[in-house]
Amino acid sequence: MKRTSAVDRRKTEDFERPILTVDIVLLTLLEGQLQVALLPRLAEPFKGRVALIGGYIHTDEDKDAEQAVRRILHAKAGLKGLFFEQLRTFAARDRDPRGWSASIAYFAVVPHGLLREAAARGIELHPADSAPRLPFDHNAILASALERLRGKGAYSTIPARLLPDVFTMSELQQVYETVMGERLDQSAFRRKIADLDLLEEVVGEKRQTATARRPTTLYRLKSPVEVFERKIGAVTR
Amino acid sequence: MKRTSAVDRRKTEDFERPILTVDIVLLTLLEGQLQVALLPRLAEPFKGRVALIGGYIHTDEDKDAEQAVRRILHAKAGLKGLFFEQLRTFAARDRDPRGWSASIAYFAVVPHGLLREAAARGIELHPADSAPRLPFDHNAILASALERLRGKGAYSTIPARLLPDVFTMSELQQVYETVMGERLDQSAFRRKIADLDLLEEVVGEKRQTATARRPTTLYRLKSPVEVFERKIGAVTR
DNA sequence: GCAATAGTGTCTTTGAGACAGTATAGG
DNA sequence: CCTATACTGTCTCAAAGACACTATTGC
């Protein structure tokens, strides 16, 4: 892995450049459970084992890291326009057998309904809390994404991005409960959501899962992801 | 900048490796104002201009990015044992004239009293809110550090790390006021700090700035940086 | 009218902002 | 005893937890 002579490089850059990749923790909700999207690796190292969706930065195509994330999500999962944000960078000598490497980790959420094409491309969903052992430090990256979702979940509309465009208030409450891992009081939840003025009603009402007799109002998020000051609280007793 | 032949690399890695550096936003408090530590650059590009403290990852010495931060803080500012945490990574094609590059940005705080040696090494302090124009995207990195400090400041003991080991309650309140840019009510502040149980009294009392008649209790932080649930609140009217 | 979920009203607790009060020193 | 800062007490308001209540449909 030697490049130009050490003498030439010494002027500006004394050290081998580490490998730089992007890894994406793509989360969705299925059967009331958070799931991670994993993809069997096509190349060495760890060829054949499932891992986070990721790839090299393409210095010719990608003008920045976000662009690389968009390109990779599109190419490997057929997805476009998702909400995603940078988690943090995992950079160390021994996280990759190929040598010193850095992975800029991203966290993304997607409604389960958009994953048809992803499934066709070999993407598998695994329960986020009991994912298999992953190569590199991907289990740590996943843990970090879950921590972020649980932390920021209570203070933002990110959990709502796990639902389809249109949803009921009960569904919304269930997502928050799943994400936060706590039961929420129905009355307090609705009050809070109303106060925050995040939703708009969808005109045509609809009947939900056969068990419901009374029809339910449907809602849609007003704006892209928002963050609020005070927590959506849990039931304390 | 060619390395092994394109054919050799094509198997695993089709693209040139970006430059990878670490940059540190080192903040301190001087004359009741937040200040950033900046250092004139010794090498091109932007040789001679002040910039954030940073450097390449040394793949032989640094086992991970945090180690690089510690090494750089020690080598360039003579500092050890500071609180620091990762901000986020700035990665784009045009942020560095040398080509596609990524900087893992860190944010650190230091009591002003520890900066004697740093000053001797050419480090300058500039008001954080009116720093000069910096090379690369360092102004954006600085802005991101300030945002983090102001955001997390109200929920953590990080602001206290801007003070010397031992401090008075008024000093502590002033740091929080400076960081948050808001006046705080004295009674509410003390109640909050007491409830959080963050401090321990220092036995020998001491008289503060000549203006104070009554002697003041001195405190010390009990534990390393802590984060709390509820904000240290501002005066609303 | 019964089952089942949708949705509302209201009591209570708690955190914290406002603000005035008391305490303790030097001069 | 005056001044300047240290420190405390308490009223009030607002957010939100608890919980019981009403509403609307299919069967």
pLDDT digits (tens, 9 = 90+) for B150-185: 999 989 999 999 999 999 999 999 999 999 999 999
Angstrom distance (rounded) from CA B227 to CA B156: 4
CA-closest candidate to residue B123, choices B70, B48, B50: B50
Give the residue with greater pLDDT, B226 vs B29.
B29
User: C-alpha angle with apex A192: A186 to A193, nearest 5 degrees?
Assistant: 90
Cβ pair A159, A225 in contact under 8 A: no
Interchain pair B93, A13: CB under 8 A: no
- The C1' atom of C16 and the CA atom of A65 lie apart, in whole Å, by 42
Name the phi and psi angles at A51, rounded to 5.
-150, 175
pLDDT digits (tens, 9 = 90+) for B32-67: 999 999 999 999 899 999 999 999 999 999 999 999
Mean pLDDT across the stretch B181-191? 93
What pLDDT is recorded for position A8? 43
Q: How many helices (H) and strands (E) does chain B have?
A: 6, 10
Half-sphere exposure of A92 (CA within 13 A, CB side): 10
- A41: tokens are 């690796």
What pLDDT is recorded for position A232? 77
Q: Which residue is nearest to nucleotide D24 (CA to C1')?
A: A214
| Residues recorded for chain B | 237
- Is B15 in CB contact (< 8 Å) with chain A? yes
pLDDT in tens, chain A (237 residues): 444 444 444 445 667 899 999 999 999 999 999 999 999 999 989 999 999 999 999 999 999 999 999 999 999 999 999 999 999 999 999 999 999 999 999 999 999 999 999 999 999 999 999 999 999 999 999 999 999 999 998 889 999 999 999 999 999 999 999 999 999 999 999 999 999 999 999 977 676 665 667 888 999 999 887 888 777 765 644
- Is B63 in CB contact (< 8 Å) with chain A? yes
- The C1' atom of D10 and the CA atom of B232 lie apart, in whole Å, by 20
Q: Which residues from B are below 8 Å from A3, CB to CB?
A: 1-3
- A205: tokens are 């009402």
Contacts A–B by Cβ distance under 8 A: 105
- A28: tokens are 């969705």
Which residue type occupies A7?
V
- Is A147 in CB contact (< 8 Å) with chain B? no
- Alpha helix positions (H), B36-137: 65-77, 116-120
- B107: tokens are 């944010």
Mean pLDDT across the stretch B129-136? 97
- A106: tokens are 């991203």
Q: Say if residue B8's pLDDT is above 90.
A: no
Q: How many CB atoms lie within 10 A of CB B8?
A: 10
Q: How many CB atoms lie within 10 A of CB A218?
A: 19
Interchain pair A93, B44: CB under 8 A: no
What pLDDT is recorded for position A9? 44
Q: Say if residue B31's pLDDT is above 50.
A: yes
What pLDDT is recorded for position A21? 97
- Alpha helix positions (H), chain B: 6-10, 65-77, 116-120, 138-153, 169-180, 186-196
- B10: tokens are 């094509």
Angstrom distance (rounded) from CA B132 to CA B38: 10
CA-closest candidate to residue A38, choices A104, A136, A113: A136
Interchain pair B20, A16: CB under 8 A: no
- The reply to whether A237 Cβ lies less than 7 angstroms from strand D is yes
With the C-alpha atoms ordered B5, B9, B11, B16, is the resulting torsion angle positive or negative?
negative
- The C1' atom of D5 and the CA atom of B216 lie apart, in whole Å, by 9
- Is B227 in CB contact (< 8 Å) with chain A? no
What pLDDT is recorded for position A227? 86
Angstrom distance (rounded) from CA A118 to CA A134: 19
What pLDDT is recorded for position A233? 65
